[in-house]
Structure 1
């Protein structure tokens, strides 16, 4: 049976160099004045391969055994001599990591202060060329107004904060942390985080998705989409009892939405509790909403199961 789940709800290239007003810091930023991550491995890039090198650094930091050569087939285009950001994100997800966006200097500092290295996309300009370049921020010194990066062939490159922001700004302050699903990013916001976890569902990394949704719910215990995602992940793992528990929690989190009732009804049907399933899906239909046609299909499916 194909389960009728309701889910929780311009490309450009970096070919790397070898060597605005700032986005701004709030008046009060709760981080230390200086912090540097010494445990982040350094992989010097090969020609135009800053994408594989940068991603390998953060994935290895997160606990995976991986090298730039392992990632090259997934993120590097020899034809284009560079890496596309969507491919960087997809590669992190395929290896079971949360690819969470970091898009401001304040959030970048929060992540580094919490011990999380951040991949950034810079535009580096010289007299003879302009190139996009991935690097990994591993430290900062606010008194000296410096950022420290693993960049290209250089380990621990110190760069003036204002100059760094000028290079980071051109593509909208694109940054990325690659997190173990059992840990939350320091700058995590519920909607953005759950959207990032959905990427694990799309790559069918169900165990990691379950862990990530559990992490989200420890922080935001009433988040409907996270409960639905947890239930979907447990169902995919064959844990029907766990899926039922998650969907019942989703119902409690938002009793006026038919979506968790729909998914709960599916699980009850799979557990051969068809009368309970019918009562639940009828409640979804009573609530109505934009997914009403899906609820009616679910009802018909349960009725066929009961009559078979």
Structure 2
């Protein structure tokens, strides 16, 4: 029994070494794949660096506020890490939560958008002039050392990447090393942009999701500006059109609101909400007959949607009362 126990122990130790080796090989393979895809992406400039990006040396555990201040300052939103610390830093965790980082960016007037979890997406943003806040684990999965940094440059030929990180204004990492440390955060990264500027790597649906979150704290003018830029890029997207029409109406830009909702009806004819909103805009413009026709059409489109039917019925009541 004693010999058998030793034998099993040796086998288990060997298996642990093999498992660790396999795990490291897997990490290397994943890193190599991401690097290979990025370096072979012919749509990317071979080199880009945003040298004018501000730098805030990061004290221990304060990398979140410093990274966010860097990104916001790069977007011409002047704020310091000290101002951001009460908003994002949690002493109990000795760090900052990802969701709070993005929410704080919005509170300070930026559109915060998660980017795709690919290395070449980071480079797309940098090449477009957008710094990227990334989360890394500089330790191991079983002994994590979470860290926020800001990607400001890369060189595909040299397979290098530069970050504002910790106390280093231009911290240099190989693409493979960055890919490994970034992978441990499930490739979490976001950009913080001024309203009117769009991310380079993000889909229309993700931009729409970001703008819906952004508009809760944004001024009417900023909402309108943000949605106008998005609709210019994706002119038929239903959520973006609704957002622009509502923002234009709130800004009392009735001609833009009318044009937007009219286009929305043309490309999304089953949207009863678009009919209701257009009818309200036409009513505000004193186009009573047109407003009534649009609202009645909306009622037929609403089908079994009791909420929209109720809204359209109320709109019709207001239209008919205005005729008296």
**TM-score, normalised via structure 1 length:** 0.86
* 1:30 lines up with 2:29 in the alignment: no
Q: Does 1:56 align with 2:69?
A: yes
Identify, as 1 or 2, the structure richer in helix.
2
Indicate conservation of the 8 Å contact 2:88/2:97, yes or no: yes
CA contact (8 A) 1:269 1:277 kept: yes
Partner SS for 2:173: strand
Residue 148 of structure 1: aligned partner: 162
Matched, 1:42 2:75: no
Aligned to 1:66: 79
Distance 1:288 1:296 in 2: 6
Partner deviation per Cα, 1:263-286 (whole Å, 9 max, x = no partner): 212333444555433321221221
* Cα contact 1:274–1:302 (8 A) shared by 2: no
What residue number does 2:101 align with?
88
What residue number does 1:179 align with? 193
* CA deviation map 1:186-238 (0-9, x unaligned): 21321111211111222243322211211112222222221111011122223
Q: Distance in 2 between matches of 1:147 and 1:213?
A: 32
Tell me by how many angstroms 1:118 deviates: 0.4
2:124 counterpart (89, 101, 110): 110
Q: Measure, in 1, the Cα distance between the counterparts of 2:307 and 2:294.
A: 14
Question: Which one has more relative contact order, counting CA pairs under 8 Å at least 6 apart?
Answer: 1
SS at match of 1:99: strand
Q: Secondary structure at the match of 2:137?
A: strand
Counterparts of residues 125-144 of structure 1 (less than 5 Å): 125=139, 129-144=143-158
Q: Which residue of 2 aligns with 1:202?
A: 216
Q: Which runs of 5+ in 2 are unaligned?
A: 1-26
Q: Give SS of 2:258's match.
A: helix
Pair 1:252-2:287 in alignment: no
Q: Could you state the TM-score of these two structures normalised by the residue count of structure 2? A: 0.82
Between 1:131-140 and 1:278-287, the stretch displaced more is: 278-287
Distance in 2 (alpha carbons) for counterparts of 1:266 and 1:93: 30
Q: Is the 8 A contact 1:201 1:233 kept in 2?
A: no
Shift of the alpha carbon at 1:129? 4.9
Gap regions ≥5 residues in structure 1: 1-19
| Cα pair 2:138 2:181 within 8 Å, conserved | yes
Residue in structure 2 matching 1:76, options 89, 110, 127: 89
The equivalences for 1:154-169 within 5 A come to 154-169=168-183
Aligned partners of 1:281 and 1:295 also within 8 Å: no
> 2: CA distance between counterparts of 1:147 and 1:37?
12
Which structure would you say has the larger Rg? 2
Would the aligned equivalents of 1:150 and 1:157 in 2 still touch at CA under 8 Å? Answer: yes
The CA RMSD over aligned residues, in Å, is 2.2
Question: For the structure 1 residues 272 and 297, does the alpha-carbon distance in structure 2 shift closer, same or farther, using more than 3 Å as the test?
Answer: farther
